[in-house]
Amino acid sequence: MSRGGERRMWGGRFAEETDALVQAFNASIDVDREMALEDVDGSIAHATMLGEQGIVTPEEALALVAGLRELRGAVERGEVEWSVALEDVHMNLERRLTERLGPVGGKLHTARSRNDQVATDFRLAVRGRTRALIALLRELRAVFVDLAERDLDVIVPGYTHLQVAQPVRLGHHWLAYYEMFTRDQGRLADSLARLDVSPLGAGALAGTGFPIDRHRTAALLGFREPAANSLDAVSDRDFALEFLAAAAIAMVHLSRLSEELILWSSQEFGFVELPDSHTTGSSIMPQKKNPDVSELVRGKSGRVFGALVGLLTVMKGLPLAYNKDMQEDKEGAFDAAATLAVCLRLTADMLPRVRVRAERTRHAAGRAFSNATDLADHLARGGMPFRDAHEAVGRLVAIALAEGVDLQELPLARLREVAPQLDEGVFAVLDVEAVVDARASYGGTARPRVLEQIARARAALAAEGAA
Ligand code: ARG
């Protein structure tokens, strides 16, 4: 069962059953095999450098690199047999290489430790996932800009405290999410700048006595430079924490959006109808159409927050340098990356198919005194201090509430009982369209301001596309 040096290292002082359990407990192959390609790439860079530096002969380096290239193909084709007895991806791959090449395979690990190896692999793996998520975020942002254009003239109630506040253009609402996901993309892009150093060559913790070239391996792996301090290089997991923090914040945004879709698609709101393709039925209630995708996106945010808190907790008490605790770093990070990716994909796929019930949203937007601020603003423009105007409109709201009508439904005579300076012109101010377009301050919901936002967003996306 156990193979080679592994067996000898553990020796005979443990009972057989304990050995098996410890072996399984200690092994990380089920998780770290996900970075097998990164491990091979790191080894190819290392072997290349060993040859160039004369640490192995040119023939040995050629043999190692050729063997590693073959092994890479085997990994891609799913042909590599993973063994728990070989503990992790590093020792599994080294063993498979040695099986192919014979004793020269044993030279690969010269001037290298699994500590710098795993730190390098994990950085490469997080880098790849971060890049993929950046592309997905960009796609989702483009969806929001398309929706903003489509729903420019759809008016919805805007809320604070989930109480109707002021009407807004639905396009404006979608663009709020464009902004959130733009920041999420920016956070991931920023994290790549700090991730961009190579731990390879830090050795176990202190460096190595062999004449390695860390700049060369860094360049071969597409890193900007080698990490400056060997102790830090093998024990730093900030890059994974930053990744998880950015992922967690993106999940917050996806979750808030999902919550709105869930609310808006309820019978009580009836603002949108979710597509059949992204909803499910009930096994007992034939009428049900449940927003499962949105609910799951909202729910899966918990996994990603958990991964962040989990890794923060793993790291917080660790003395320098490498500690085995750090083996717990990958599972949550990979799960978070996969979770965020599928949530972004589903959201981008679903949103364009959401049917907006514009008559209902417009009706709801024009009710519940969503124009009360505008009446107060109107009085304030006429010279009344805003505080007094606020008080006067409050009294009118009370009157309207008592009569079961909205402000615009009160006759002018009733309005003038409280504010005699009002004339017929007030009704134009109270119209929902006018209310929306009155908010023409920078970043506001007036039509020209929303069009400006769309143009700015389109320009940003185009510039990124060109980059
Ligand atoms: N499987 C280990 C991890 O993921 C690799 C590094 C092991 N290093 C060691 N000194 N035991 O962290």
| Tens place of pLDDT per residue across the chain (467 aa) | 334 334 422 344 555 544 788 889 999 999 999 999 999 999 999 999 999 999 999 999 999 999 999 999 999 999 999 999 999 999 999 999 999 999 999 999 999 999 999 999 999 999 999 999 999 999 999 999 999 999 999 999 999 999 999 999 999 999 999 999 999 999 999 999 999 999 999 999 999 999 999 999 999 999 999 999 999 999 999 999 999 999 999 999 999 999 999 999 999 999 999 999 899 888 888 888 899 999 999 999 999 999 999 999 999 999 999 999 999 999 999 999 999 999 999 999 999 999 999 999 999 999 999 999 999 999 999 999 999 999 999 999 999 999 999 999 999 999 999 999 999 999 999 999 999 999 999 999 999 999 999 999 999 999 998 76
Burial-class residue 373 by CB neighbours within 10 Å (0-12, 13-18, 19+): middle
Nearest CA to ligand 1 atom 11: 324
What's the CA gap between 16 and 30, in Å, rounded?
22
Look at the block and give the residue holding tokens 């990164």. Answer: 38
CB 270 within 8 A of CB 357: yes
Position 74 scores a pLDDT of: 98
Give residue 230's identity as a one-letter amino acid code: S
Q: Which atom belonging to ligand 1 lies closest to the Cα atom of 204?
A: 10
What's the CA gap between 163 and 368, in Å, rounded?
9
State in Å: Cα 234 to ligand 1 middle.
10
What's the CA gap between 114 and 90, in Å, rounded?
7
Could you check whether the bond before residue 148 is cis, i.e. omega within 30 degrees of 0? no
* Nearest one of 305, 303, 329 to 316, comparing CA atoms: 329
* Nearest one of 66, 58, 67, 53 to 111, comparing CA atoms: 53
Q: Which of 43, 46, 90, 161 is catalytic?
A: 161
Position 202 scores a pLDDT of: 98
Ligand 1 pocket test: which of 28, 124, 329 has the largest number of ligand atoms within 8 Å of its C-beta? 28
State in Å: Cα 191 to ligand 1 middle.
24
State in Å: Cα 78 to ligand 1 middle.
23
What's the CA gap between 435 and 428, in Å, rounded?
9
User: Angle at the Cα of 382 (from 380 to 387), degrees rounded to 5?
Assistant: 25
State in Å: Cα 115 to ligand 1 middle.
6
What are the φ/ψ torsions at residue 311 (nearest 5 degrees)?
A: -70, -35
Q: Which atom belonging to ligand 1 lies closest to the Cα atom of 330?
A: 4
The 3 state secondary structure assigned to 259-311 is: HHHHHHCCCCCCCEECCHHHCECCCCCCCCCECHHHHHHHHHHHHHHHHHHHH
Nearest CA to ligand 1 atom 12: 327
Position 290 scores a pLDDT of: 93
Cα–chain center distance at 241? 13
378 belongs to the catalytic site = no
Tokens, residue 97: 């290489």
Ligand 1 pocket test: which of 6, 9, 113, 118 has the largest number of ligand atoms within 8 Å of its C-beta? 118
Look at the block and give the residue holding tokens 């057989």. Answer: 16
- Per-residue burial over 50-64, b if 16 or more Cβ lie within 10 Å, else e, is bbeeebbeeebbebb
215 belongs to the catalytic site = no
Ligand 1 neighbours (beta carbon < 6 A): 28, 32, 88, 114-115, 118, 322, 324, 326-327
Q: Which atom belonging to ligand 1 lies closest to the Cα atom of 122?
A: 4
Phi-psi region for residue 369, left (φ > 0), alpha (ψ -120 to 50) or beta?
left
State in Å: Cα 118 to ligand 1 middle.
7
Position 4 scores a pLDDT of: 37
What's the CA gap between 463 and 467, in Å, rounded?
6
Position 20 scores a pLDDT of: 86
State in Å: Cα 90 to ligand 1 middle.
9
pTM of the model: 0.94
DSSP string, 182-245: HHHHHHHHHHHHHH-EE-TT-TTTT--SS---HHHHHHHTT-SEE-S-HHHHHH--HHHHHHHH
Nearest CA to ligand 1 atom 10: 115
* Nearest one of 89, 128, 90, 119 to 337, comparing CA atoms: 128
Q: Which of 46, 90, 230, 282 is catalytic?
A: 282
